Amino acid sequence: MQKGSYYMLTMQKYHGLGNDYLVLDPNKNQIALQERKVAMLCRRNFGVGADGILYGPFWENGKIKVNIYNPDGSEAERSGNGVRIFAKYLKDMGYVTKRRFVLATKAGDVEVEFLDEQGSRMRVNMGTADFLSAALPIDGWRHEIINEPLMFHGSLYNTTCLSVGNPNCVIMTEDVSCQKAKALGPYVENASYFPNRMNLQLCKVESRKRLRIEIYERGAGYTASSGTGACAAAAAAYRMDLVDSKVTVEMPGGELLIEMAADGTIFMTGDVEKVGTFTLAEDFFS
């Protein structure tokens, strides 16, 4: 939409359990999405404000693809909440009409199944967890790190590291708080062990069927919820035989149901809500 000498950008905003994303559709907008612009859009109080940007849809080998960006402008391999949000957007805009479809991300394909007519609740096949240090990667390690002590900010923490499409560090602890996540998160994210930086989940086992986590994400900071973080925490706890194969993961923003199949496949079930439509003049970037 042209107005005067500048171009109007239109974005949709959704959230999954308080984890909010802007959807920027290249088929409806003319913009070269750069790191600086991503950071400006996501900046709260000065921009629209979001935990990231979902850029798409694109079509690749017959599949719909989305590019996912953190609020610092870096690209994320995958986001569980982002996948659900983008699937809801695709349904809202008529890009998909089937109950099930495959969405391509940088970390590989995920299968989405809508559980209601509105597409607000869905079950996502998130693939399998990889505990090998090379998958993360972790410098100086050549084996799985399962409940092993690692040093962060001068203290040892029993740590489990795994990839669920993106790298995660799960620390089992009784101190699962916003304050602790914010204090420890930057040291885990930027620890020398992790050349590609790291996501942190502080995790408390409430029962065989319930976990409670706090999250600090690379490139984003403290977040109210994380789909991949919930999957990582559940997979780590299950690997250590602390929970059953079906577990509810509680986060400040809400709850996700995570299921581990016999073949290792992780399924995530949760909700998405639309916030609204935002129109922004391109001179915002000048």
* pLDDT recorded at residue 285: 85
| Poorest-pLDDT segment among 82-86, 133-137, 204-208 | 133-137
Residue 170's nearest CA partner among 119, 110, 235, 261 is 235
> For the segment 23-59, what is each residue's pLDDT rounded down to a tens digit?
999 999 988 889 999 999 999 999 999 999 999 999 9
pLDDT above 70 covers what percent of the chain? 97
Are 83 and 103 in contact by the 8 Å Cβ rule? The answer is yes
Are 98 and 114 in contact by the 8 Å Cβ rule? The answer is no
C-alpha–C-alpha distance, residues 282 and 268, integer Å: 37
* pLDDT recorded at residue 4: 38
Domains of the chain: 2-126+272-285 (3.10.310.10), 130-263 (3.10.310.10)
pLDDT tier at 5, thresholds 50, 70, 90: very low
pLDDT above 90 covers what percent of the chain? 88
pLDDT tier at 238, thresholds 50, 70, 90: very high
Tokens of 127: 């693939």
* pLDDT recorded at residue 214: 98
| pTM reported for the whole predicted model | 0.94
Mean pLDDT, the chain, whole residue set: 94
C-alpha–C-alpha distance, residues 265 and 259, integer Å: 8
* pLDDT recorded at residue 140: 81
Q: What is the residue-wise DSSP string for 243-261?
A: S-SEEEEEETTEEEEEEE-
* pLDDT recorded at residue 7: 57
Q: Is the pLDDT of residue 2 over 60?
A: no
Are 107 and 77 in contact by the 8 Å Cβ rule? The answer is yes
Residue 174's nearest CA partner among 211, 119, 130, 149 is 211
